[in-house]
């Protein structure tokens, strides 16, 4: 992979990297298209990263379909699909982890200890192996995006991080590879996330400024469905991810629920950029 990147750079082409765990959907494909607009060559990494999964999480059953993913990447005219084996990324004796300490606290980090160390470590390795000038990430995993931006700043990595808006199904559900786990009934329940985001924005637009009251209202709404287990409803600053007491133009609503065995997340600004 690095040899290919070096040859591509010698040809004068900038490289854009789209890191993924595969099982592509329209959200992934939109990242590939964005990458093609920003660089002369596009690399998509496809790696289900074992060190970001906890012992009770879904590493073994995470959806995989390499042939389908290869065909979709080819359709998008991706220049290189990088799909390493775990043993190549983490050979025997591997013991290094990268921790972005403050941003990893709270939200998903609270219930998934070690997860973001695994993310930061694999992304740093991908940057060193692929050597991109630009890397494209979706905003659905907003905490992850904030952590990668901090990682790049703190370690002086020479790569531009570009965030892309969440791609949604027609009914508002954020696209995710894990949506494949949902039964038909669970898929209907999953619409609660986009409804909560919409209602949160309506409350803010209607003058609600107390983040605690807004969180309580949305928690009650989500918990009204017996198939939904609320993990968190949070109002945080869009840059620092610190919890906010008062809602302002920097407030981002972040949600995580479990529906059956499937964990789903969503987020969005409470005010459009021109509001607040």
* Catalytic positions: 28
Is residue 140 exposed (0-12), middle (13-18) or buried (19+ Cβ within 10 Å)?
Answer: buried
**Cα diameter, the chain:** 58
Beta bridge partners of 138: 164
To 10 degrees, the CA torsion angle through 103, 104, 105, 107? 100
């Amino acid at each position: 992979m690095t040899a290919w990147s070096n040859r591509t750079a010698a040809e004068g082409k900038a490289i854009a990297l789209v890191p993924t765990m595969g099982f592509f959907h329209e959200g992934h494909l939109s990242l590939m298209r964005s990458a093609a607009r920003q660089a002369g060559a596009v690399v998509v990494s496809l790696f289900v990263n074992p060190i970001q999964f906890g012992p009770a999480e879904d590493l073994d059953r995470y959806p995989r379909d390499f042939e389908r993913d290869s065909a979709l990447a080819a359709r998008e005219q991706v220049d290189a699909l990088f799909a390493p084996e775990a043993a190549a990324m983490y050979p025997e004796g591997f013991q290094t982890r990268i921790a972005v300490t403050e941003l990893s606290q709270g939200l998903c980090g609270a219930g998934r200890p070690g997860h973001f160390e695994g993310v930061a470590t694999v992304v740093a390795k991908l940057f060193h192996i692929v050597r991109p000038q630009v890397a494209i990430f979706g905003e659905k995993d907003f905490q992850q995006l904030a952590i990668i931006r901090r990682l790049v700043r703190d370690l002086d990595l020479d790569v531009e991080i570009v965030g892309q808006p969440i791609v949604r199904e027609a009914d508002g559900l954020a696209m995710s590879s894990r949506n494949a786990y949902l039964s038909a009934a669970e898929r209907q329940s999953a619409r609660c996330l986009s409804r909560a985001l919409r209602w949160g924005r309506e409350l803010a637009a209607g003058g609600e400024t107390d983040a605690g009251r807004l969180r309580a209202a949305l928690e009650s709404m989500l918990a009204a469905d017996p198939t939904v287990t609320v993990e968190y409803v949070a109002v945080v600053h869009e840059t620092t991810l610190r919890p906010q007491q008062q809602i302002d133009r920097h407030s981002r609503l972040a949600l995580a629920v479990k529906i059956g065995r499937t964990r789903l997340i969503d987020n969005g600004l409470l005010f459009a950029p021109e509001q607040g």
